Amino acid sequence: MFNRKSRQNKRAIGEPQVDKDRLPMHVAIIMDGNGRWAKQHNLPKVMGHRAGAESLRDLVRYCAETGIPILTAYAFSTENWKRPQDEVSNLMGLLVEYLYKEVEELNENDVRISSIGQVDALPSEAYEALMAAEEKTKDNKRLTLNLALNYGGRLEILEAVRKLAHDAAAGRLDPVSIDEALFSSALYTAGIPDPDLLIRPAGDFRVSNFLLWQIAYTELWTTPVLWPDFRRAHLEEAIIEYQRRERRFGGRHN
């Protein structure tokens, strides 16, 4: 199924093409616009979230087929608990459904499921489904699908500070030795390279408390397309734009 070609994805002759020799190693996506999509289609909000799951499915397939090794999806933030209880319950139910429904195909296609955030605070059924999916796919190498669940960038930084401060107070760490590499190793994303490209659908221009430390030099790309309408053709458009840019990481332009 991962090798299935999408007619929607074929680009006309003469249009810019993705250079597969210069792909981003890590793409991060803020999956936004589900509620607005549902409202536009006169549907319950849960149907927007369900349609958004189809977008994620298509992008996972594209990344695996194309050779992008890491895809991080902002699925549920620490702020999302403030939403109506029925919406939160629907989101958690959809997460469980997605994990159980997709894990076999993901495993067969060498995709590893990982997560960042305070996942142990998720409802038990969601947590158990996540842990089972991570365990089943832990040895896969083709693509890492990194789900940000109960995640907040400020909380992640605070937790890293607390961990390092605790180690320093216990005499296990000299505070003078704390550098960027050590601090990064205390984050949820330890061992994962920072995103090369951050995509924000739905027309908003903010990072919404997502990967605040990690996106210091990440290329940002926004689109008015709502997340449930976002497909691989849009990801290709973002990658082509990414490949046009010169990444200087604070250095001077030559």
DSSP assigned state of 37: H
Instruction: Out of 32, 58, 196, 229, pick the active-site residue.
Output: 32
* Given 9, 42, 80, 146, the catalytic residue: 80
Sheet holding 143-151, edge to edge: 111-116, 143-151, 70-77, 26-30, 197-200, 219-222
Q: Confirm if 130 and 149 have CB atoms less than 8 A apart.
A: yes
For 197, left (φ over 0), alpha (ψ -120 to 50), or beta? beta
Asked whether the beta carbons of 143 and 64 are under 8 A apart, the reply is: yes
Phi-psi region of 110 (alpha: psi -120 to 50; beta: other; left: phi over 0): left
- Is residue 164 within 8 Å of residue 182, measured between CB atoms? yes
146 tagged catalytic: no
Taking each helix axis as running N to C, give the angle between helix 124-137 and helix 85-108, from 0 to 180 degrees, rounded to the nearest 10: 10
Q: Does residue 58 carry a catalytic annotation? A: no
Whole-angstrom distance, CA of residue 181 vs CA of residue 188: 13
User: Which residues are the active-site residues?
Assistant: 32, 80
